[in-house]
Amino acid sequence: MYQERVVLCGSSAYEKKYYLNEDFRGLPEQVRSELQIMCVLYTEEIGGVLTLVFEEDGTLEFEVSADEGDLLYDDIGSVLKIKELREKKRGLLEALEVYYKVFFLDEELPEE
């Protein structure tokens, strides 16, 4: 069904906007809210643009970018914050990967 990378959501400190891919409107409201809070707080604290993207194999990656002249963007803080988010939100991120693999890549549910 999907052969390329797919954006799940993203937030921009420059435009003060949050985006959720319409293909994921079927996610529970609590999950959508948690994603929005996570992304917006990241860009408010660190700056730049944060995008969560599913790779072709279904893994969820954090992509970060910043305008070239953005002196307020915190490069080191970005790495630390993403590491913190991966640890604190591990359950959510893993569940999103399973959701994507099952509903978008038509894979079987993983065995427990």
Question: In which band, very low, low, confident or very high, does the pLDDT at 2 lie, cut at 50, 70 and 90?
Answer: low
CA diameter of the chain = 48
Among residues 56, 16, 54, the alpha carbon closest in space to that of 36 is found at 16
Mean pLDDT of the chain: 94
Q: Using CA atoms, how far apart are residues 97 and 14, in angstroms rounded to an integer? A: 28
The answer on pLDDT for 3 being more than 70 is: no
- Residues 85, 13: contact at Cβ < 8 Å? no
- Range 41-70 average pLDDT: 96
